[in-house]
Structure 1
Amino acid sequence: MSSMQYPLSLLWATPLVAFLGYASHRASLCTVRAVGDVLESRRFERFGGFLRAMLWAMLLTLPALLLMPSLYAAPTPTAPLWLGLGGGFLFGLGAALNGGCSFSTLQRLADADWRMLATLAGFIIGVAAWQLAPPLFTLNSQPGHPSPAWLMAALALLVIWAGVEIRALWPHRRGLRERLGADAYSPRATAVLLGLGAGALYLGFGPWTYTYTLRGSVSALAGDPVAPPATQLLLVPVLLLGMMISAWRRGAWHKARPATGWPLNLGGGLLMGLGGALIPGGNDTLLLRLIPTLTPHSLWIYLMLVAGVAGGLLLKRAALNPAPAARRPDDDRSC
């Protein structure tokens, strides 16, 4: 996409990204919270919302891969699989320590939780540290395109699934203004907005998620010759602005936020940055760009990210609730 096309794309991408920020804040999207739901109460509703958003994004990207195969390309540089898996685990572990993934870090910052500034600082430091370190691997070549027959079969299944989803949403007869003004959006409704919006942004604007953009910008400052377009950087504050509007309408700015605990956020952000340098990006990039465009190994990397979140939550639980030490028999001796 030429430099002249990017300003034109901003005319529709800017309000769309702001609305996606608003909607994601209303839905309280968070992979850490989704994993916590599974560990604590075996509830999968939040994971279902992420899965639906990924499938809605795929519904737009698969036809593009059939009609415009040049859109299908793995991010460059591409690390070996084992490093990508390790990056996913590091990102998930850091998100658990931080108490929020890439989505909820911005959401909590919009709620005036200033500890998230430490998280973003840690992310930047982690990406820069990896970029400045001596190269540890040889870059892989770009993979081939998926089979058109396979893409058409997958697209047919997605169309059937989308019809079922729309039918499930149809009985809710609330007006559009009432739905948009609701204090909380349902995971199923948010998935439609986020998935279709993300798919449209990828087709018309290229990689747009804030972790991917932030990672590319930091890498460029650290010496990487490939940098994201300057106009793409505008979408990061626009996404935050949409979340801030939602937070303001909820009255979240009037709630006090504790200032303690920021070193944990800084450490969590550092691990997220190291992992995000390898993915590249975060869970938002995996769910809304890499998996929907069928980037090789992206699904396995996301599963490793989820495993990292689960491991981090279990470590935090063990640290906060240590098991009582076993008593020796002679401890119960009477006088």
Structure 2
Amino acid sequence: MLLSLVLLAVIALGYLAQTTGLCMFKGVNEWRDGNKEYLMSILLSGVLVWVSTLFAYLVDIPLHFTMYKMNIWFLFGGFLFGLGAALNQGCGISTLGKLTRGDIKMLATILGWLAGWTILAYWSPDRGFVQIPIHKLSHYLLLGSISLLLIVWISFSNKRRKKLWFSMMGIGLLSGFIYLYQPRWSPNAILNQLSSALTENKLYNWPIFEQYLFFIALLTGMLFAAWRTNKFLFVPAKFQQWMVHFCAGTLMGIGASLALGGNSVQLLLAMPILSPGGFVAVAGILVGIWSGIHIQKHLIPITLNK
């Protein structure tokens, strides 16, 4: 029964991610065009994750969330991920969103993710990550106050703003409880385990059946949203585009490995629990995306079908 409820939550998350978008690449582009609110809503999408941590504390459920001190590898990994996202013209979740809308070249990006994780499975530098305890009262007071202020502000806003912000915050709320049930539910976590299992040839490293169910549920929510909004359109791709997206995905995979997660993990888990490493990784992602856009525009312009 509990698993069924969590799968429904994953389907709902996939639906919201498809209809609203959780793409920092799009957010940076919107910012460059003068619309700063979209990126801000993305950066604050995980503000309600504290609800799940408080629930876990009240009902005595063990928390598997981990905070890390700042480290140069978070910044570098985030930068590589952002650079790859710019070349891919989409981040992690939005890659799956595009795929379920018929953009077939996103399969090359996913293969690149796996290649990137595999490279780091064979060679992983000593990154010296330092875990620190999760804040309790200060954590709830800060994020609870931000949540209340946002809800009041949004409630008196126009319909378009309400849809954007409540959808983004809904993604964060759902993800908090999903992470509480299965910390390794995300597509990045599955690819990480697959790469480890393939390189180390250890059966216990393979993702469990439940994780595959979560991945299917996420795609189901996205497919349903694409069908309901009439956004499904098969987009063929040329060989050059496949290669560009494979390289972009490889950069994203390496970056996510170095930073212990891609943009979705940083936005929906690391930042909401106030992990300093998460904030550094997101800063690196933003710089990487900005740099990637600049490189494509001025140095090596590459025309990709959106």
The TM-score bracket by the shorter chain reads: 0.7 to 0.9
Cα displacement string for residues 73-107 of structure 1 (whole angstroms, at most 9, x for unaligned residues) = 428xx798112211110000000011110121001
Instruction: Judge conservation of contact 1:48–1:187 (CA < 8 Å) in 2.
Output: no
**Aligned position for 1:116:** 106
Alignment of 1:218-297 (within 5 A): 218-223=195-200, 228-254=207-233, 256-259=235-238, 261-297=241-277
Query: 2 CA distance for matches of 1:193 and 1:149?
Result: 23
Cα displacement string for residues 85-130 of structure 1 (whole angstroms, at most 9, x for unaligned residues) = 1111000000001111012100110011110000000110010011
**Aligned position for 1:307:** 287
Among 114, 134, 138, the alignment partner of 1:150 is 138
Q: Which has the larger radius of gyration?
A: 1
Query: 1 CA distance for matches of 2:216 and 2:284?
Result: 29
Shift in Å, 1:43: 1.4
TM-score by length of 2: 0.85
**Aligned position for 2:89:** 99
**Aligned position for 1:53:** 45
Shift in Å, 1:23: 1.6
Query: 2 CA distance for matches of 1:218 and 1:321?
Result: 32
Cα displacement string for residues 225-253 of structure 1 (whole angstroms, at most 9, x for unaligned residues) = 75553312221122112111222233333
**Aligned position for 1:199:** 176
Shift in Å, 1:207: 3.6
Compared CA separation, residues 305 and 256, structure 1 to 2 (3 A): closer
Instruction: Judge conservation of contact 1:66–1:151 (CA < 8 Å) in 2.
Output: no
Instruction: Judge conservation of contact 2:73–2:127 (CA < 8 Å) in 1.
Output: no
- Give me the identity figure in percent: 28
Cα displacement string for residues 263-318 of structure 1 (whole angstroms, at most 9, x for unaligned residues) = 11011001001011122221011111121123331111111111101000010011
**Aligned position for 2:125:** 136
Among 123, 136, 155, the alignment partner of 1:167 is 155
TM-score by length of 1: 0.79
SS of 1:253's partner is: coil
Counterpart AA for 1:266: F
Shift in Å, 1:33: 1.0
Compared CA separation, residues 273 and 256, structure 1 to 2 (3 A): closer
Shift in Å, 1:206: 2.6
Unaligned residue ranges in structure 2 (runs of 5+): none
Unaligned residue ranges in structure 1 (runs of 5+): 1-7, 173-178, 180-184, 323-335
Shift in Å, 1:212: 2.5
